[in-house]
Amino acid sequence: MSLSELQKMKAGELYSMFDDELDQLRTKAERLLFLFNHEPDRQTRRAYLEELGIGLHPTAHIQQPFTTCYGCHIRVGAQSFINWDAVILDHGGVTIGDQVFIGPKVQIYTVNHALEAAARVAGEERAQPVVIGDRVWIGGGVIILPGVTIGDEAVIAAGAVVTRDVAAGDRVGGNPARSLVKR
């Protein structure tokens, strides 16, 4: 039995971004995000996020505006706060721990297009999860690339581009991000 493109995406295998099922999920997300981003009532906004399939702890908050591709592959823990203009490409899944603070204009990517031009034009992609531990602080404008895990209590300086895992308790910054702790 062959896997659907959605199953391939979740498994971290190559899949086609042009698949009809994936397109329907993205279309649903676009509609609900439009409603979320234009809704003044906080409870109604939360209902849109829940309909989208985001696993949002009751004490977590996502600030408007917010952009994602699917939404249903995002989990946000207790007392976590995602600030304005966050972009989360959640193809591979994004898990955000408890008491995480994410600054404005943070971008979290879990997907890469194929490197070869013909495969890229054909719509081939591969997704990898991003995992953010508990009590992490991610400064404004940070970019986190696919497959990255950020350990508990790490701090990511504003504007950093995180290309590899960050150890628990580390402080990183720069492009590419590297430890700022003297050892």
Q: Which residues does the annotation mark as catalytic?
A: 113
What is the rounded CA–CA span in Å between residue 161 and residue 77? 23
Q: What angle do CA 129, 154, 68 make, to 5 degrees?
A: 35
Name residue 113's beta-bridge partners.
Answer: 125
Token output for 146: 């696919």
SS3 at position 68: strand
For 41, 56, 98, the CA distances from 95, given in Å and listed in that order, are 26, 10, 10
The closest of 149, 140, 143 to 177, measured between CA atoms, is 143
CB 82 within 8 A of CB 68: no
Residue 32 tokens read as: 């609900």
144: closest CA among 111, 181, 98? 111
